[in-house]
Structure 1
Amino acid sequence: MKKLLILLLISSISGVAVADKYKIDTKGAHAFVQFKIKHLGYSWLYGRFDSFDGEFEYDESDPSKANIQMTVDTNSVNSNHAARDKHLRSDDFLNVASFPAASFSSTSFSEGENGNGTMKGNLTLNGVTKEVDLDVTFVGGGKDPWGGTRRGYEAVAELKLSEFNIKKSVGGAYEELTLIVSVEGIKQ
């Protein structure tokens, strides 16, 4: 009887699902942190951050346990214009001398249809931490040609510059920045 209880305990423990861990594929350039904001109300200004890192977890049996942690080197901002990038690094905007990194740490995930959902978390930018909601779209997942497993998502959030102590926020249509994070993770 004692052996039977031990076997039942072992089999129940081994059946516990564990979240899969994924490293964001920055080496293969299969991930992007981008933004867009209106320029004078006449056009869109696009940019990206060239240096970032992170990881996420996903448990197919319990998607609510999904989480992501990312860190972005704010000095790597790239809007395809050297003078503007210098200004974006200044204390008018990103203040990289005082805050060389931005980070996001999720707190919850609510999955909807087809793997899409809402990821809530804390975004730290320019020394300010605020809770933000990311609209998450599941792009796909499965085996890759090299014998690994990958999973990809795109997340979008609308940020108000003034809420992150951005000095050059001029209000109106130029106050809202769209953040787009596209990640492809390699299962560890």
Structure 2
Amino acid sequence: MSAPAAAQRVAGDLELLPAAEHPHLLPEAVRAALPEGAWTLEIDPGLADTQALVDAAHVPLDGSANCVVVAGKRDGEERVAACVVLASTRADVNGAVKKVLDVRKASFLPMDRAVEESGMEFGGITPVGLPGGWRVLVDTRVAGSEWVLIGSGVRRSKLVVRGADLAALPGAEVVDIAMTPPVAST
């Protein structure tokens, strides 16, 4: 079975494999929550960070997404969410995300907590297979993407899934939470 051309485009030079046929590349929680038709690809764990993979494998930045975990408090209650934005943007943590979570201040969840509570590896956290009760804030640009490359829960692989499938994950909300990073002056 070959991958659709649009899915292959976001994988750059890397070979796409049907995710359901390659469970050894995915943690159990991710395997259990895989959207139908998802693809995976094996990578060097040293290339798990988005920019490294973009540079090494000609993966398009606008076809890649990042998942960051944030938290904030309101009335003593902690509110945690995974935020999914295109790699060409950044999550507007203290603007849009703070507003959606209805908290006074939002910040990135400390790495050790994000890893422990998600059951995933740092640099590989994905919205697929997150713990129940976590909100998943999917930026509208991600939800509108035909296919997007995203972490797989481990650093040795990635997933390629439809944006609509991310928007349909348990706990997912499609919201405008991304801001385009400022252009560097030359």
TM above 0.5, yes or no, is no
Report the TM-score when normalising by structure 1. 0.25
> Would you tell me which structure has more strand in proportion to its own residues?
1
| Larger RCO of the pair (alpha carbons < 8 Å, separation 6+) | 2
Q: Which has the larger radius of gyration?
A: 1
Report the TM-score when normalising by structure 2. 0.25
